[in-house]
Structure 1
Amino acid sequence: MKQVVVARYAQGNPKASDFRIEEAAEPQAAEGELLLRTLYIAVDPLLRFSLDESTLTGGGRMDLGAPMIGPTVSQVIASNHPDYAAGDYVEGRTAWAETTVVAPDKSDYRGPPRKLDPALAPVSTALGALGGPGQTAYEGVIKVGRLQVGETIVISAAGGAVGSMAGQIAKALGARAVGIAGGREKCQGLLDLGFDAVADYKASDFAAQLKAALPDGADVYFENVGGDVTLSVLPHLKRGARMPMCGFIAYYGLGMEGPGPDHLPGFYRQIMNKALEIKGFAGLFAGQKGLDDIAGWMKQGKIRFAESFVDGIDAAPEAFASVFAGHNHVGKLLVRVAPAI
Structure 2
Amino acid sequence: MKRVVLASYARGNPRPSDFRVEDVPVPEAGEREILLRTLWIAVDPLIRFSLDENLLSGATRMEPGSLMVGPTVSQVVASNHPEYAPGDFVEGRSGWAEYNVLAPDEADYRGPPRKLDPSLAPVSTALGALGGPGQTAYEGIVNVGRVKAGETVVISAAGGAVGSIAGQIAKVLGARAVGIAGGEAKCRALLDLGFDAAVDYKAPDFADRLKTALPEGADVYLDNVGGDVTLAVLPLLKRGARMPMCGFIAYYGMGMEGPGPDRLPGFYRQIMAKGLEIRGFAGIFAGQKGLNDIAGWMKEGRLRFPEAIVEGIEAAPEAFSSVFSGHDHVGKLLVRIAPEA
User: What is the TM-score normalised by the length of structure 2?
Assistant: 0.99
Conservation of the 8 A alpha-carbon contact between 1:132 and 1:285: no
- DSSP 3-state at the match of 1:109: coil
SS of corresponding position for 2:285: coil
Q: Superposition pairs for residues 67-82 of structure 1, below 5 Å?
A: 67-82=67-82
Cα separation, 2, equivalents of 1:60 and 1:72: 17
Aligned to 2:52: 52
CA shift, 1:240, in A, is 0.1
- 1:15 aligns with 15
2:277 counterpart of 1:277: yes
Mapping for residues 1-341 of structure 1, pairs under 5 Å = 1-282=1-282, 284-341=284-341
Letter in 2 for 1:123: V
Deviations 1:304-327 (A, max 9, x none): 011010000000000000000111
How far residue 284 of structure 1 moved from its aligned partner, in angstroms, is 4.2
Whole-angstrom distance in 2 between the partners of 1:9 and 1:283: 27
Letter in 1 for 2:281: F
Q: CA offsets per residue over residues 114-172 of structure 1, 9 Å max, x none?
A: 00000000000000000000000000101100000110100000000001010010011
Change (3 A) 1:70 1:89: same
**Among the aligned pairs, what percent are the same residue?**
75
Cα distance, 1:282 vs structure 2: 2.6
In structure 1, runs of 5+ residues without a counterpart are none
Opposite residue 19 of structure 1, the aligned amino acid is: F
Give 5+ residue unaligned stretches, structure 2. none
Is the CA contact 2:132–2:283 (under 8 Å) kept in the aligned structure 1? no
How far apart in 2 are the matches of 1:284 and 1:30? 30
Alpha-carbon distance in structure 1 between the residues aligned to 2:14 and 2:285: 26
Deviations 1:73-111 (A, max 9, x none): 000000111111000000000000000100000012211
Whole-Å separation in 1 of the counterparts to 2:79 and 2:171:
42
Given that 2:245 and 2:281 are in contact with CA atoms closer than 8 Å, whether structure 1 keeps it comes out as yes
Query: Residues of 1 paired with 2:109 and 2:17: CA distance?
Result: 29
Q: What is the alpha-carbon distance in structure 1 between the residues aligned to residue 272 and residue 241 of structure 2?
A: 12
Shift of 1:173: 0.7
Distance 1:280 1:203 in 2: 28
Q: Distance in 2 between matches of 1:283 and 1:12?
A: 25
Aligned residue identity for 2:36: L
User: SS in structure 1 opposite 2:62?
Assistant: coil
